[in-house]
A and B are shown apart, each in its own frame.
Chain A
Amino acid sequence: MPLNILRLKHVTVVTTKKNVKALRRETYTVDFIKKQIEEFNIGKRHLANMMGEDPETFTQEDIDRAIAYLFPSGLFEKRARPIMKHPEQIFPKQKAIQWGEDGRPFHYLFYTGKQSYYSLMHDAYGKILDIEKHKNQLQAKGLFSEKNKTIDLIGSRWLIKEELEEMLVEKLSDQDYRQFVRLMERLLQSGAAEEEFVQSFRRSVTVQSKKQPIEPVQRDAQGMAFSTSEGKRKSAKAEAVVYEHGSGRIKVNGIDYLLYFPVLQDREQLMFPFHFLDRLGKHDVTCTVSGGGRSAQAGAIRLAVARALCSFVTEEEVEWMRQAGLLTSDPRVRERKKPGQEGARRKFTWKKR
């Protein structure tokens, strides 16, 4: 069994003299990469045999599961655990040597420094010119129909700078990236001809971060419809039961909220979910809370009440609540005190001598 599945091969770094070749850090030659890929595939088949599965249909997820099973690791950092992936994902993408034996570069834009970027820009501009020429010809012939086939841009976004860099295997600056985006948008405006070309530079954004808080729909007990949910804030835990039809009375741990929270600020926190949904006097709440301080308990109850109200309210209003921040639990916790400092951030008094 090849033992070099998991070892990352360290190639000696050529750092001594500053010449153009040496500025490239770890050079993995094309042959080296090819060999790694062969070894990976062989190793994959061996692994499949070991696990008793079919080597032909052994996917990357199966590999991950097998490695986690064979080499269980207690390390907290996920990236430090043993991995076995295709060499293309492990070794960073390298450019092949750009010039031939006589020293002449292959690409015509090599001496710009960012050859693939400039070639891409050049191609895109060429496409724009083509489209305009085509349009002019149609107009001259009179066959130009104003079909504005706009490409659907909703649900997708342009590549971010890092993704573009990765695609071109070149470092870009911010201005370069902005130019690129402007050129792409101009291409879109001029016509809907080059769809695939443009779409290759867009990624979909359909992942909406809504829909995460799934609230349990209301339950019935004794004929009263109510819903329960919990909330936490800074070591205070609260559980709230919101009844659908009520007169706006709130009881905390069996005590009226006016007596439990004598401070106006806490009561305002309790009022916020109801006020936001315009349902001030319509619900009754009974809740239990423990831990934390006065303000933390108020925040915990507010979160619990907002989550419970979700089940009585339309989806649009749930989205509004989420945007208002009523449904996110506050991640701020007390920061730990560090040694050598007086508090979490405060340092000891600095003495010059």
Chain B
Amino acid sequence: MDSVGTMLKGVASLVSRVRKLDPGHLRLGTQAPQSLAAQLDNQVSFESPRAISCTNENDPAKHEEKHEGLHYNLPLQDVKTVFPHGLPPRYAMQMKTFNEACLMVRKPALELLHYLKNTNFAHPAIRYVLYGEKGTGKTLSLCHIIHFCAKQDWLILHIPDAHLWVKNCRDLLQSTYNKQRFDQPLEASVWLKNFKTTNERFLSQIKIQEKYVWNKRESIEKGSSLGEVVEQGITRVRNATDAVGIVLKELKRQSSLGIFRLLVAVDGVNALWGRTTLKREDKSPIAPEELALIHNLRKMVRNDWNGGAIVLTLSQTGSLFKPRNACLPQELLGKEGFDALDPFIPIQVANYSPKEFESCIQYYMENSWLQHEKAHTEEGKKELLFLSNGNPGQLERLCAYL
């Protein structure tokens, strides 16, 4: 205790450099700094911020209410495997700048974790819908859940943004499987690549239970691994959408068997039931049902399978033809979507509470992100709180200027 204290005394004067060099020394457990801080009066301002805003608890499974408001570190290796495509772009930039991925533990995520830990896998999969104002942290909460499930060794089916599949698509092919529908080879192949990165170890374990015929020359036999289907989809871009369909169908069927647990995580689920901006060659609009990817995804999101959970996020930012202030499930999903998703558990993601806000500011200050002189003062913090009203997205954009 004393040696650590003296070491801290010597180190505190070089806080910013030493922190980057060996974070292990300075990162104490959550309990210790309260007593230490009482002893070292002059170094309180340097040392306790790190302890106030960050925890050592890197396993999401162990996150509880006492960790609420604190950031935990995601190891970069995990990030590469679990989130090849899932992080929002601004957060990815922040990650690159700070050279570490820190996520805040917040109440909605904790609630969801609690439910997930207590799920009964014999029952049909429960749907959880995260909703809230723009910029409150729905996508990052989803990422928190995904990290937890990855640590728990679930199979993760993560669609980063369903809106990307209903707009700005370059080539639409008529589906080989079903003449009515359309294929999106590019999006499907990209998604398959990322799916492969996330779930490598499962691909060889799961065996498909049916024979699928790609075209006259190629087919896949029953009993071959899912990995082969994914490979086929990636190499033959034309059949990528069908590969995705096969993957989804097989996973749904087999998750009920209990070999693995399946987490379906879709961000921007209101895209599945809205309108698309895509048009046929004769300029007539396409309904979302006519896209094969969307059709399969809808089947996935129905709760007629068990052995896992479905976590969904609504998003107005990428949505098409929805007014800017729509944030409730009824408004964003529309009648059709709401009925399709009907028995779901809504979880609201709100703006930062004062404690969370404080913690966020401390985190930015530790990483020397706020360079303005006034940012450290109380008035500065009050100003930031007023201007952003506790909205995490707005706060992040504000701090980017400072």
A216 within 8 A of B: no
Closest to B381 in A: A280
Given contacts A259-B133, A280-B379, contact A248 B387 (CB under 8 A): no
Looking at A257, A267, A274, A278, which has the most chain B CB atoms within 10 Å of its CB?
A: A267
In the assembled complex, the Cα of A258 lies from the Cα of B388 at a distance in Å of 7
Number of A-B pairs, beta carbon distance below 8 Å: 33
Assess the A256–B383 pair: CB atoms within 8 A.
no
B98 within 8 A of A: no
CB-CB < 8 A to A248: which residues of B? 385-386
Closest to A258 in B: B389
CB of B103 to closest CB in A, whole Å: 23
Our pick among B133, B385, B391, B398 for the contact of A281 (Cβ within 8 Å) is: B385
In the assembled complex, the Cα of A197 lies from the Cα of B383 at a distance in Å of 57
Assess the B385–A275 pair: CB atoms within 8 A.
no
- Beta-carbon contacts under 8 Å, A241-273 to B: 248, 255-259, 264, 267-268, 271
Assess the A256–B389 pair: CB atoms within 8 A.
yes
Chain B contact residues, majority secondary structure: helix
CB of A133 to closest CB in B, whole Å: 62
B325 within 8 A of A: yes
Our pick among B325, B379, B385, B387 for the contact of A264 (Cβ within 8 Å) is: B387
Assess the A268–B387 pair: CB atoms within 8 A.
yes
Assess the B383–A275 pair: CB atoms within 8 A.
yes
- Beta-carbon contacts under 8 Å, B378-396 to A: 379, 382-383, 385-389, 391, 394
In the assembled complex, the Cα of A343 lies from the Cα of B391 at a distance in Å of 42
CB of B220 to closest CB in A, whole Å: 50
Closest to B388 in A: A258
Our pick among B133, B382, B388 for the contact of A280 (Cβ within 8 Å) is: B382
Assess the B389–A271 pair: CB atoms within 8 A.
no
CB-CB < 8 A to A256: which residues of B? 389
In the assembled complex, the Cα of A217 lies from the Cα of B387 at a distance in Å of 29
CB-CB < 8 A to B325: which residues of A? 255, 259
In the assembled complex, the Cα of A275 lies from the Cα of B382 at a distance in Å of 9
Assess the A281–B387 pair: CB atoms within 8 A.
no
Additional A-B contact list (6), CB under 8 Å, known A267-B387, A271-B387: A248-B385, A259-B325, A264-B398, A275-B383, A280-B379, A280-B382
Interfacial residues, chain B to chain A (CB-CB below 8 A)? 133, 325, 379, 382-383, 385-389, 391, 394, 398
- 28 residue pairs bridging A and B, Cβ less than 8 Å apart: A248-B386, A255-B325, A256-B389, A257-B389, A258-B133, A258-B388, A258-B389, A258-B394, A259-B325, A264-B387, A264-B398, A267-B386, A267-B387, A268-B387, A271-B383, A271-B386, A271-B387, A274-B386, A275-B379, A275-B383, A278-B379, A280-B379, A280-B382, A280-B385, A280-B386, A281-B382, A281-B385, A281-B386
